[in-house]
A = this chain, B = another copy of it.
Amino acid sequence: MSRTLSDFEASQSGSPAAGRGGRPQRTQSCLVTKLSQLIDLSEVELDSLSRLQTEERDFARDEVLFSVGDHHQDLYIVQDGWLFNAIDAPDGRRQIVNIYHPGDIIGFPDIALSTRTTDLVAVTKGSICPFPKSGLGTVFMEAPRLAALLLSIALREETVLIDRLRVFSRSSAQARVAYLFLELHARLRSTTGDAGNTLYMPLNQHEIGDSVGLTNVSVSRAVTALEERGLISTASREVTLLDMEELQKMCDFEDRYAQVVTDWFP
């Protein structure tokens, strides 16, 4: 049921073309799609990226793709599906660090360390594109503007973490939950371009609690309270944000996904 990355990497190095359930090779790598949204890529840059292209990998719902302590060779770009990475605390609780959607880069912070610092778990089925860590060196040599873009992406992630640190260390349960919904909404909108206020929410309340540092019980009460205040409404696997202004106010939310500044790029 749950396969680890080590299995995957072993099978990859053994017979690269024999990935099970492998989809047809895309003519365009996931990373190119991702980065093209942010800057226009030159021929040289496209060429540099295309050489890093690796076969994509499918994953099943609830699959654990890697675990804390695993040695790693790759970054991943999400092609399809939702995933999150998490750390288990000694007391049995769990902190969900980041929730990933199509277009997101997974495992960036780990490349400065020798082993994984989080588990990667699939929320839905989907697929990811591996991107060899060693290929980063090539990008830095051949495509400095791409390298700068990667730094920008890492720095934006950091800003988001700072925002979250502020919210989660001080705010009420309702504000934390509101923040999570707003952040997911902003991220999904930035990648899908969808402007609606309803978002798909495959996480259950226990997982929401793991994300924002609450128990499932407290999440339930917070969601109910937000509904009663008329700020959100929930369906089976969906959340609708009814009063964006009030929601943003109550958790001091700022959208960091709207822009990436490139003025200092080479």
Contact = CB atoms under 8 A, between A and B. Distances in A.
Interface of A: 87, 89-91, 93, 95, 97, 108-114, 117-118, 133-134, 136-138, 140-141, 144-145, 147-148, 150-159, 161-162, 164-166, 168-170, 212-213, 249, 252, 256, 259-261, 263-266
26 contacts: A87-B162, A89-B252, A93-B170, A95-B165, A95-B169, A109-B155, A109-B156, A109-B159, A109-B162, A112-B156, A113-B256, A114-B259, A114-B261, A117-B159, A117-B162, A133-B263, A136-B264, A140-B148, A140-B266, A141-B144, A141-B266, A144-B144, A151-B151, A154-B158, A158-B161, A161-B162
B259 A113 contact: yes
B95 A155 contact: no
A180 to B, nearest CB: 12
B166 A169 contact: no
B159 A112 contact: yes
B150 A151 contact: yes
A112 B151 CA distance: 8
Contact of A155 (B108, B114, B145, B159): B108
A166 B89 contact: yes
A130 to B, nearest CB: 14
Closest 8 CB pairs of A and B: A169-B213, A112-B155, A140-B144, A137-B266, A95-B166, A161-B161, A168-B169, A109-B158
Contacts of A261: 111-114
B166 A165 contact: no
Contact of A112 (B87, B113, B152, B164): B152
